[in-house]
Amino acid sequence: MHINRLDHLVLTVADIEATCAFYTRVLGLARVEFGSGRVALQCGEQKINLHQAGFEFEPKALCPTVGSADVCLIASDTIEAVVAHVVAAGGAIELGPVARTGARGPITSIYLRDPDGNLVEVAVYAGETA
């Protein structure tokens, strides 16, 4: 067997609408609805499914917890453009830009927190900007 990509991940959140507002405004993700009123955030060919804390869909993680995620999103802009967008949208950068290592090599990253305290890294691979 060979796994070649991540399709989706799940965030357990305190407030789906607050989460959607943050990720659409600050990070430019698209809010999508699917199934029977389920909500996700689309980013490229992947999505982040949202579960309301206390009302998770089955099957679910053994101990779904608000604010326990640490994710890295890759942008196709320059890190300067990413910083400018995040700041203009009211996002608070906690750290960065800093050099890090992504799955495919060196990246430049910033870190911020979503409404639940999840750590969100936004990174850019050198030479892969639009």
Chain mean position to CA 111: 11
Catalytic residue among 17, 45, 58, 121: 121
**Dihedral over alpha carbons 69, 72, 104, 74 (to 10 degrees):** 150
Per the CB < 8 A criterion, the answer to whether 74 and 125 are in contact is yes
**How many Cβ atoms sit within 10 Å of the Cβ of residue 120?**
21
| Active-site residue flag, 80 | no
Per the CB < 8 A criterion, the answer to whether 123 and 72 are in contact is yes
Q: Which residues pair with 87 in a beta bridge?
A: none
Catalytic residues: 121
